[in-house]
A and B are shown apart, each in its own frame.
Chain A
Amino acid sequence: MLEIAHLTKSYGDTAAVADLSFSVAPGEVLGLVGPNGAGKTTTLRSIAGIIRPTSGTIRINGHDLLTDPLPAKAALAYIPDEPHLFDHLTVEEHLRFVGRLYGVADARARIPALLQEMELTERRTALPGALSRGMKQKLGIACGLLHDPGLFILDEPLTGLDPGAIRRMKATILARAHAGTAVILSSHLLQLVEELCSRVLVIHRGRAVAIGTLAEISASRPELAGRGLEDTFLALTEVQPS
């Protein structure tokens, strides 16, 4: 579903992401972890088509994001950590707006079920100003799910959600993955990553320092054998004293 080869994004002399290559298969949940400033957001924004990579290729569902952006974008959904909503569109109108942009012919029929899933049915005529942070986040996710994306990119998806909503959100992510959606989940909550992700990509200073299942990462680094993701993450990203 997603193939990235030698992705590099530089700002002047600074490489925010350098020579990053990985792929995500349908039904897989890839955890993207790294310390602050590691290049996670730049990677996600490049995949979502928000910024143009300096070099490298990004293929989504077989379409090159740079040369054939519309079908590539039609197959993805990006949910940033801070939901971006339009002040004067109601909850339901957001979904209809997104439905038109993605050409979802049966949007009207799908919206009620999606609102139900995100527990927004009661609030469907509310404007964003009347929604809590968690509800806004749910609306952002609902907009992302409306067109049944093949690739679902989530940046800190649980921010602002209450415990019940967190549980349902996890279930939603796993259900989509079981249905064949490729998911990239970026989070500092390593417990969440460990719980949901089939593989983990650790990036540090713009470069991939490890990728694979926790067992695979441990196998490549014998000193990490039997340690959890938190210990592994810290061992991989800690700055060693010179």
Chain B
Amino acid sequence: MSARALSFLAARSARNRVTSVVTQMRSPRYALTVLAGVSYVALVIGDPSHWNRHHSPFASSGLIQTLAPLGVALLVAWWWIRGGYQRAIAFAPAEVDFLFPAPVRRRTLIVFKMLRVQPGIIFTAAFILFVFPWTMALWWPLAFLSLWLVLTALNWHQLAASLVRANVAEHTGTSAAARRSMLPLLIAVLALAALLSGLVPDLFALRGATSVHEVMTRLIAALHRPAPRVVLYPFRLLLAPVLALDVTAWLHALPGLLVILALHFAWVIRSDAAFEEAAAEGGRKRAEMLANRKKGLARYRRPATKPATRPLFELNATGWPGAAMLWKSMLEFTRGFRPRVVIGMAAAIGVLLVMLLYSTHGGSSGADTAAGLLAGVLAITTLMAPIGLRNDLRGDLRHIELLRTFPIRGRDLVAGEISGATLSVAMIQAVLLIVALVFAMRGSVGATHRGLIALAAVLGLPLLVTITAGQCTILNAMALIVPAWVRTTADVGIEATGQRLLVMAGSIVLLLLALVPAALLGGVAFAIAAGLAGTRIAGIAAGVVLCAALWGEIVGAWFWLGHLYDRLDPVEVGIIA
């Protein structure tokens, strides 16, 4: 009986979700975003080179066949040792309130949980196939089927790990249940220890390698030693169908995967873990994060509760009120910037740099490569960071009920908000620019074009900051003109993808248009100054005129946006109900 009720819940929820999407399609804004998203996907799918996997050297190189099991093994180890087990068995708050007090067996709830995640797993399998087709050599329906089964097995393993950890948390001490629960945990720790002990000596030897190819060759050799081979065997068995190079290999590999799947199913549904408390807590945290994400600022972040860091500067009690908005935006940036993200980005740039430097064997060309890479990162940051960081009106429109009561002119508020966002991006730009210039100085460009580097040092940051201010202004203008778009930017789905694409493309096109008059004036300044004082001085003059002209446009836009803000009716445009 309860199974029928749960089926009803799942079926009706899915049906209502589809109905809601179809109903929303009547709105031109929504329809446009869906169209943009679908067009993007269609463009990628329609590109034959995207699907041309048969000749993918990566899929058949043997590299992925060796490294993928290691990656999955480390992921599984993470689930057992550190991963947030509550999240894996999370039930939505409504499910907790309705299902947990209802006369439904735990096993039924677990089966419901296993089935309910299937749409997400199917979507993930399609996504991986869509984004990384070059990692698989198989015909795509077989690759999709294999991916789906592998992801299902991994999901069930994570669920099992979470149930074991929930049981350990529930039965502390030396009870039989606790001992029974500790066993798989112990096996996971021992397996990880065996894997690492087999690998670590070889990893130390990697220091002597002189190229990326050599590093990879030694790593693959290390993974073929007895201890890592034994520990990684189940993971190779699991991934074999996905990584098979042809149908015959796939048919040979499939039974192993099906056995793993069947064993996991039995393991999960035979669990007698009292998971309710962990599931409710996980659901609460997930609901909190989703609510944060819907607010538009913090995507997957929980509300900040750690002790606050000191502000970059003190706020005086009196003076220009826009400074208060700037101060607030800077605090949002410095306190909202997660070290994990910074470390991740720095590591990614570092890995790229190391690989590039290895491939060029160091020296001045290596420094040139590093400077070029950092210049590229700087350009991408200048274009993308204002879209990603939303510590301005885009984030604060949710507080409009408070902002509108403040005795501050719209133009001051807009100027303060946008300046805060611009300065936040400028801090990242300054770091990247300095490092890029240091590398450029050590490279061949530094030896031959010191004047060019000096010009970049003098004009680079002001120019980048001006462009960022322009883009932040455009993005905030979009938020004020079509606020409903800003509210849904944090949503997921094809319509949200389309919306982001439209906002990104629109902002870049508008920025380019805004640059035209400023660039023309800069060009005129260059022509005049070149005739009078040479090209170097003319370059500086052109840069200064370009910045000044763009700032003129930006400040004009702030006045206009301030007027727009003052006249905005937040109820009529749907910001508040």
Q: Is chain B found bound to chain A in the same assembly?
A: yes
Q: In the bound complex, do residue B311 and residue A100 qualify as a contact, i.e. CB atoms below 8 Å apart? A: no
B23-31, B252-260, B398-406, B518-526 - the one binding chain A = B398-406
The A-contacting residues of B in range 261-319, CB under 8 angstroms, are 297-298, 302-308, 311, 315-319
Given A11-B571, A127-B304, A49 contacting B317 (CB threshold 8 A): no
CA A80 – CA B570 in complex, angstroms?
15
Given A73-B405, A100-B319, A129-B305, A86 contacting B571 (CB threshold 8 A): no
- B residues within 8 A CB of A189? none
Among B402, B406, B570, the residue within 8 A (CB) of A51 is: B570
- B residues within 8 A CB of A77? 405
* Closest A residue, CB atoms, query B391: A88
Q: In the bound complex, do residue A84 and residue B401 qualify as a contact, i.e. CB atoms below 8 Å apart? A: yes
One digit per residue, 1 when the CB lies within 8 angstroms of any chain B CB and 0 when it does not, for chain A 76-106 equals 1110100010111110010011111111111
Given A52-B567, A87-B297, A101 contacting B406 (CB threshold 8 A): yes
B123-131, B330-338, B486-494 - the one binding chain A = B330-338
Interface size on A, residues (CB 8 A): 43
Among B319, B323, B336, B572, the residue within 8 A (CB) of A11 is: B572
Q: In the bound complex, do residue B331 and residue A49 qualify as a contact, i.e. CB atoms below 8 Å apart? A: no
Q: In the bound complex, do residue A70 and residue B405 qualify as a contact, i.e. CB atoms below 8 Å apart? A: no
Give the interface size bracket for B toward A. Answer: 35 or more
- A residues within 8 A CB of B406? 73, 98, 101-102
Give min CB distance, A66 to chain B, whole Å.
10
The B-contacting residues of A in range 127-175, CB under 8 angstroms, are 127-130
Q: In the bound complex, do residue B332 and residue A101 qualify as a contact, i.e. CB atoms below 8 Å apart? A: no
Give min CB distance, A204 to chain B, whole Å.
20
- A residues within 8 A CB of B316? 100
The A-contacting residues of B in range 178-218, CB under 8 angstroms, are none
Q: In the bound complex, do residue A103 and residue B304 qualify as a contact, i.e. CB atoms below 8 Å apart? A: no
Q: In the bound complex, do residue B332 and residue A88 qualify as a contact, i.e. CB atoms below 8 Å apart? A: yes
B173 at the interface (CB under 8 A from A): no
B327 at the interface (CB under 8 A from A): yes
Q: In the bound complex, do residue B336 and residue A129 qualify as a contact, i.e. CB atoms below 8 Å apart? A: no
The A-contacting residues of B in range 533-574, CB under 8 angstroms, are 566-567, 569-572
CA A101 – CA B321 in complex, angstroms?
5
CA A107 – CA B307 in complex, angstroms?
23
CA A45 – CA B336 in complex, angstroms?
30
- A residues within 8 A CB of B113? none
Among B297, B305, B318, B336, the residue within 8 A (CB) of A103 is: B318
B171 at the interface (CB under 8 A from A): no
Given A51-B571, A87-B298, A127-B308, A71 contacting B407 (CB threshold 8 A): yes
CA A200 – CA B402 in complex, angstroms?
26
Give min CB distance, B319 to chain A, whole Å.
7
Give min CB distance, A96 to chain B, whole Å.
6
CA A74 – CA B321 in complex, angstroms?
12
The B-contacting residues of A in range 95-127, CB under 8 angstroms, are 96-108, 125-127
Q: In the bound complex, do residue A48 and residue B307 qualify as a contact, i.e. CB atoms below 8 Å apart? A: no
B147 at the interface (CB under 8 A from A): no
* Closest A residue, CB atoms, query B334: A88
- A residues within 8 A CB of B434? none
Q: In the bound complex, do residue B303 and residue A129 qualify as a contact, i.e. CB atoms below 8 Å apart? A: yes
A50 at the interface (CB under 8 A from B): yes
Give min CB distance, A214 to chain B, whole Å.
30
CA A63 – CA B414 in complex, angstroms?
24
- A residues within 8 A CB of B306? 127
- B residues within 8 A CB of A87? 297-298, 303-304, 332, 336
Q: In the bound complex, do residue A102 and residue B399 qualify as a contact, i.e. CB atoms below 8 Å apart? A: no
Give min CB distance, B441 to chain A, whole Å.
37
- A residues within 8 A CB of B304? 87-88, 127-129
* Closest B residue, CB atoms, query A110: B317
CA A87 – CA B328 in complex, angstroms?
10
Among A76, A93, A99, A100, the residue within 8 A (CB) of B405 is: A76
B229 at the interface (CB under 8 A from A): no
Q: In the bound complex, do residue B401 and residue A89 qualify as a contact, i.e. CB atoms below 8 Å apart? A: no
B408 at the interface (CB under 8 A from A): yes
CA A191 – CA B302 in complex, angstroms?
38
Q: In the bound complex, do residue A88 and residue B336 qualify as a contact, i.e. CB atoms below 8 Å apart? A: yes
- A residues within 8 A CB of B336? 87-88
Q: In the bound complex, do residue A88 and residue B317 qualify as a contact, i.e. CB atoms below 8 Å apart? A: no
CA A108 – CA B404 in complex, angstroms?
24
CA A129 – CA B335 in complex, angstroms?
13
- B residues within 8 A CB of A99? 317
B164 at the interface (CB under 8 A from A): no
- B residues within 8 A CB of A80? 401-402
The A-contacting residues of B in range 510-534, CB under 8 angstroms, are none
Given A97-B315, A100-B317, A125-B308, A51 contacting B405 (CB threshold 8 A): no
Q: In the bound complex, do residue A127 and residue B305 qualify as a contact, i.e. CB atoms below 8 Å apart? A: yes
Q: In the bound complex, do residue A88 and residue B331 qualify as a contact, i.e. CB atoms below 8 Å apart? A: yes
CA A80 – CA B462 in complex, angstroms?
42
CA A78 – CA B407 in complex, angstroms?
12
B324 at the interface (CB under 8 A from A): yes
CA A93 – CA B315 in complex, angstroms?
9
The listed residue with most B CB atoms (<10 A of its CB), out of A11, A45, A50, A88, is A88
- A residues within 8 A CB of B302? 129
Q: In the bound complex, do residue B407 and residue A73 qualify as a contact, i.e. CB atoms below 8 Å apart? A: yes
Contacts beyond the supplied A49-B405, A69-B407, A73-B405: 13 A-B pairs with Cβ under 8 Å = A42-B571, A48-B404, A48-B405, A69-B566, A80-B401, A86-B332, A86-B399, A88-B331, A93-B311, A100-B321, A103-B321, A104-B317, A129-B303
Q: List 8 A-B contacts (CB under 8 A).
A: A51-B570, A51-B571, A70-B407, A93-B308, A100-B319, A103-B321, A125-B308, A129-B302
10 A-B pairs closest in CB distance? A129-B303, A73-B407, A100-B324, A74-B407, A88-B335, A84-B402, A130-B305, A129-B305, A50-B404, A107-B317
